[in-house]
Amino acid sequence: KQEFNKRPTKISRRSLSRSISQSSTDSYSSAASYTDSSDDETSPRDKQQKNSKGNADFCIKNIKQADFGRREIEIAEQGGKGPLCLNVYVVCLCVCLQVLMETLSALGAQCRWAACNIYSTQNEVAAALAEGGFSVFAWKGESEDDFWWCIDRCVNVEGWQPNMILDDGGDLTHWIYKKYPNMFKKIKGIVEESVTGVHRLYQLSKAGKLCVPAMNVNDSVTKQKFDNLYCCRESILDGLKRTTDVMFGGKQVVVCGYGEVGKGCCAALKAMGSIVYVTEIDPICALQACMDGFRLVKLNEVIRQVDIVITCTGNKNVVVREYMDRMKNGCIVCNMGHSNTEIDVASLRTPELTWERVRSQVDHVIWPDGKRIVLLAEGRLLNLSCSTVPTFVLSITATTQALALIELYNAPEGRYKQDVYLLPKKMGMIIAVMCRASNRSFYLITLFKFCCCLFFKLALIFTANVKNFALSVLNKSC
């Protein structure tokens, strides 16, 4: 019986690396973290590490990568200062969102950080944060057990009570709710940015178990239009190219879901010459797909002929074993939705199927008759796992999250009840004004300066003076 959870040995890794050309390796490894090969085989959980100040409250791949990570951070980072008394758990780790963490810290927040995706952590960035004194528990390529262990280490610390949660996917919120109910009751607010996490919050609210107010950032205008649409429009091509070197022209692609993520994916693939099919159950989104010139199909109608299958619904079991059994040889299967449940990967871990790792985050799943499909990132989020994402749009999302945290923390008693709320549209409008102001390029310092000002003048957002306030800050920033 094949063991699927066993880590690759040194021999298998070396033999694999010899089978891939250096140029081919370079095409995908730039998305991965800088690594020290001498540490590849040692689990971070088994290592004792300290930063230059003697602090050991972190668990990362290699603290020696801190200088390299700091150089990456400097590309995207701009600061802001001001008092903000938050204890925040932040769950997500990539270059631009770590800027959010450092900004929150500059505003006075105390942050502890775990990853939202086992493949999305940039090890060198995590090292730079740990060297800077942050409590970070994340590394690229965690196992499922490592993932939950990191979240627990982030949460379970003596003498420290969070008052805010910033989550991406809902795993941290779920963990605290289940394992630390007393801690959960003392939380002042939750900010959630993914559709999966928002669904989980709505489930808690519907069951009457959500005892704190929560802000739904995923459905905010800035998140939907910039992060979900424009970011995915670029990163879907980047992720597929880095992992498979596929040529898109003439390829038949089916995109499952035509929300904002699906729209971005379809637009990018169509522009590259692909023949794009769309599956969608929402009537309005389905009509939009038709009006945009895409053929609306059922998945079982085209599954035998397509070259690439992309899921972006946020649902579960969208591509099940039955469909994968019928796929043609060489079909590429990947996920652009947040949750790793859209592709039924568990059904592929059976004795009759052979798994072959051919690249970082690329597996061939081989059937007894020799047919194989190409599975990317084991069904997890493709762009965070296998590529980079534009810092421009993530900067907008980070600013949206910061505003949501400040709003929930400073809201007068009674404004928000124990329910899930949409981010006020006026906040999104102000962010858009700030983005529009920087025509040549997007500077985070402008937005985060505004966050600092907003902390002191937040009440103005909900008055008739909001327009004048935004324009005055805009003039000062410019």
237 and 174 in one domain?
Answer: no
Confirm whether 476 is domain-assigned: no
Q: Is 259 annotated as a binding residue?
A: yes
274 and 196 in one domain?
Answer: no
182 and 139 in one domain?
Answer: yes
Confirm whether 393 is domain-assigned: no
Please give the backbone phi and psi of residue 232, each rounded to the nearest 5 degrees, phi first.
-70, -25
Residue 46's pLDDT is 87
255 and 193 in one domain?
Answer: no
Q: Is 41 annotated as a binding residue?
A: no
Boundary-marking domain end, from 343, 363, 386: 386
111 and 65 in one domain?
Answer: yes
Q: Is 280 annotated as a binding residue?
A: yes
Residue 328's pLDDT is 97
Residue 337's pLDDT is 87
Q: How far is CA 476 from the centre of its chain?
A: 33
352 and 423 in one domain?
Answer: no
Confirm whether 12 is domain-assigned: no
Residue 193's pLDDT is 87
Q: Is 261 annotated as a binding residue?
A: yes
Q: Give one DSSP letter per residue of 197-221, joined into a string.
A: HHHHHHHHHHTT---S-EEE-TTSH
What is the rounded CA–CA span in Å between residue 36 and residue 395?
29
Per-residue pLDDT of the chain (478 residues; tens, 9 = 90+): 333 333 334 334 333 333 333 333 333 333 334 334 444 578 899 888 999 999 999 999 999 988 888 877 776 654 333 344 556 655 544 444 666 787 788 888 888 988 888 888 888 888 998 998 899 999 988 999 999 999 999 998 888 889 999 998 899 999 999 999 999 999 999 999 888 889 999 999 999 999 999 999 988 888 888 888 998 999 999 999 999 999 999 999 999 999 999 999 999 999 999 999 999 999 999 999 999 999 999 999 999 999 999 999 988 899 999 999 999 999 999 999 877 889 999 999 999 999 999 998 999 999 999 999 999 999 999 988 888 777 777 778 888 888 888 889 988 888 999 999 998 888 888 787 776 655 444 444 445 545 545 544 444 444 444 455 555 655 655 5
Residue 122's pLDDT is 84
Q: Is 383 annotated as a binding residue?
A: yes
Confirm whether 392 is domain-assigned: no
Confirm whether 467 is domain-assigned: no
CATH code, domain carrying 67? 3.40.50.1480
Confirm whether 82 is domain-assigned: yes
368 and 246 in one domain?
Answer: yes
209 and 254 in one domain?
Answer: no
What is the rounded CA–CA span in Å between residue 14 and residue 178?
42
**Among 344, 345, 337, residue whose Cα is nearest residue 383:** 337
**Among 388, 361, 339, residue whose Cα is nearest residue 244:** 361
Global pTM reads 0.72
CATH code, domain carrying 334? 3.40.50.720
Residue 474's pLDDT is 52
330 and 184 in one domain?
Answer: no
Q: Is 87 annotated as a binding residue?
A: no
Rounded-to-10 torsion of CA 22, 6, 343, 396: -60
Identify the domain containing residue 256 by its residue range. Answer: 224-386
- Number of separate domains in the chain: 2
Residue 16's pLDDT is 35
